[in-house]
Amino acid sequence: MLIQRLLPPDLFATKTVFVTGGGSGINLGVAKHFAALGAQVAICGRTQARLDAAAEELRALGARVCPVAADVRDMAALQAALSRCREELGDVDVLVCGAAGNFLAPAEQLSANAFKTVVDIDLLGSFNAARAAYDQLRRTQGSILFISAGMAYMPHAFQAHVGAAKAGIDMLMKNLALEWGSHGIRANSIVPGPIDGTEGMKRLSDPGQQAQFVGGIPLQRMGTVDDIGQAAVFLASPLASYITGCVLVCDGGQNLAGSAFFNQGAQQMLRAQTRT
Ligand code: COA
Ligand code: NAP
């Protein structure tokens, strides 16, 4: 990891990081970046076996780890997870709200429950995590990182549910930055661009179209999980101690080209799914 060469290995020593959705993908990558810099890490998700496997990867980096199953839609389960994290690792210094759900669906085919499900996981789940961690974050004067998405500020076809949820997350982030700043708590969002090899990309784009997709990104490459881990450790570190209420877009400039290519590709994917 690049951070291991560029940042002190004890940057987050004595710090506790709690990552929702930390059992896989981008969020696990974020957890690994904190672990590699000395943090102790708690991860939550719905699947204990997935969390246990992720915990082994984090322990291999030297971290003490608390893998605890909780659905972010269930406030009582999250509160229990945060209490267990506190007992095992101490108060949370950094909360990462990364749990999310996504699928392509035309708005006219979304059921009320499909829309609600994504809003509940992404937006309500982020609020639940922040609210459940508040007392601990206040004691540590900690910070919150929300994992948002480009759909929050640029419409993408077949993503009405995700756009609404992620836009809500970014405004929630700003409200918490405003209200909790006086307690020393910072809040920021990271917008990952298209990140190679992730569940999110698998669901939203056809690998056969990747070359064309990359051609539309100003920096001419897909993002990596490490790109997001690096942004996360920066925002949670003392280097960013005066940064709060910020949406950090980490997408190689993809948003500058708009969502048109994404929309065409997604339409072809949906048509292919309908045929099978
Ligand atoms: N298109 C349209 N509607 C869909 C859908 C799809 N591809 N997938 C699920 N839904 C609908 C369901 O039909 C259901 O609505 P209904 O009750 O009106 O039929 C509703 O969404 C909830 O589905 P359910 O499977 O019960 O939800 P869940 O809570 O078990 O799972 C999901 C949540 C649907 C988001 C699931 O895809 C998931 O677990 N995702 C996590 C991983 C992920 O998405 N990673 C990428 C992050 S970017
Ligand atoms: P992922 O691997 O599927 O990560 C999502 C995680 O959330 C999973 O570990 C999942 O575990 C967990 N989760 C889902 N529903 C949950 C719930 N109700 N309660 C608790 N945990 C839950 O997908 P990813 O692509 O890496 O995405 C990670 C984050 O990055 C998401 O916030 C996504 O919106 C954002 N993002 C991704 C991309 C991209 O290119 N991939 C781009 C922009 C933004 P369980 O299923 O075991 O619960």
Among all ligands shown, which has an atom nearest to the Cα of 73?
A: 2
Domains (range + CATH), the chain: 12-194+224-252 (3.40.50.720)
- Mutating to test ligand 1, I would choose from 20, 117, 158, 273 the residue with most ligand atoms within 8 A of its C-beta, which is 117
Q: State the pLDDT at residue 276.
A: 77
| Mean pLDDT per 10-residue section of the chain, whose length is 276 residues | 97 98 99 98 98 98 98 98 98 99 98 98 99 98 98 98 99 98 99 97 91 92 98 98 98 94 90 85
Q: State the pLDDT at residue 210.
A: 87
The dihedral built from the CA positions of residue 148, 149, 154 and 159, taken in this order, carries a sign that is negative
Tell me if 200 CB under 6 Å of ligand 1. yes
Tell me if 168 CB under 6 Å of ligand 1. no
Local structure of 23: helix, strand or coil: coil
Atom 32 of ligand 1 has which residue's CA nearest to it? 101
Q: State the pLDDT at residue 261.
A: 85
What is the number of the ligand 2 atom nearest to the C-alpha of 51?
A: 47
Tell me if 29 CB under 6 Å of ligand 2. no
Give catalytic residues, as residue numbers: 148, 166
Q: State the pLDDT at residue 9.
A: 97
Tell me if 111 CB under 6 Å of ligand 1. yes
What is the number of the ligand 1 atom nearest to the C-alpha of 117?
A: 22
Structure tokens at 200: 């999110």
